[in-house]
Amino acid sequence: MIYDANMLQQMILLFALFFAVSLAIYMAVRKEVTGKKAGRIYVGGEDLRPDDVNISPLDFYASIERTLRVKRVVSLHNGDLSRYLMWMIIGMAVFMIILVWGMV
């Protein structure tokens, strides 16, 4: 055995136990929170309507660009076939350079 499967099995069973216990607690407590309240989501101090949840991709990419200081994330996937082929060729060239340097 390269890895102890039984330990993994025990971890999984432990998780199942915790999950079952918490599920039981939830089911028991749920009756006190009846009706309409069970369906509303309460996040960050105010109710959240479903429409607010979907993040628009453009905003998201802009936030990533700001955090990672990587420019042009969106423009790299703009759908231009020639650009995609350029990546492929560059990737192939990188493979070739690394392999020739490493294997010769």
Partner 1 sequence: MIEYLIAMLAVLLGIYAVAFKDNLIKKVMGLSIMSNGIHLFLISIGYRTGGTIPILKDMDIASFAQLAVDPLPQAFVLTSIVINLSITAVALSIIILVYRQFGTLDASKIRELRG
Partner 2 sequence: MIYGFYAVGVFLASAFLTGLVSIKSDKYVPHIPIAASLVAVLLTAITLPRVFFWGAVRMQMEEWVAPIGISIVADTLSVTLALITTIIAFLVLLFSYRYISRNSAKYYSLLSLMFAGVLGILYTGDIFNMFVFFEVLSVSSYGLVAFYRNRVSLEAGIKYLIMGSVATSMLLLGVAMLYGVAGTVNMADLALKLPSIGGIVPAVALALIMAGIALKAGIFPFHAWIADAYEGAPSPVSAALSGIGIKAGVYAMLRVVFIVFNAPAVVLDILLVFGVASMLIGALLALGQDNLKRMLAYSSVSQIGYIFMAIGLGTALGTAAGLLHIVNHMIIKSLLFLSAGTVLWKAKSTNMKEIANTVRTTPLMTYSFLFGVLALAGIPLFNGFVSKWLIYVASFEKMPLLTVIALVTSAITLAYGLKAFYAVFLSNEKAGTKVVMPLSMKIPLVVLIVLVIVLGVVPQIGIWLAEMMSGSLDLSLYTGVVLG
Residues found near partner 1 in the complex (CB under 8 A):
57, 74, 77-82, 85-86, 89
Name the residue nearer to partner 2 (CB basis): 16 or 25.
16
Kindly state the tokens that stand for 92. Answer: 């192939």
Each residue 54-83 as x (binds partner 2 by CB under 8 A) or -, in order, gives xxxx--xx--x------------x-x-x--
With CB under 5 to 8 Å by kind, the binding choice for 78 among partner 1, partner 2, none is: partner 1
According to DSSP, the residues that pair with 75 across neighbouring strands are: none
Where do runs of H (alpha helix) occur along 31-103?
50-53, 57-68, 81-103
Q: Which two tokens stand for residue 82?
A: 């020639």
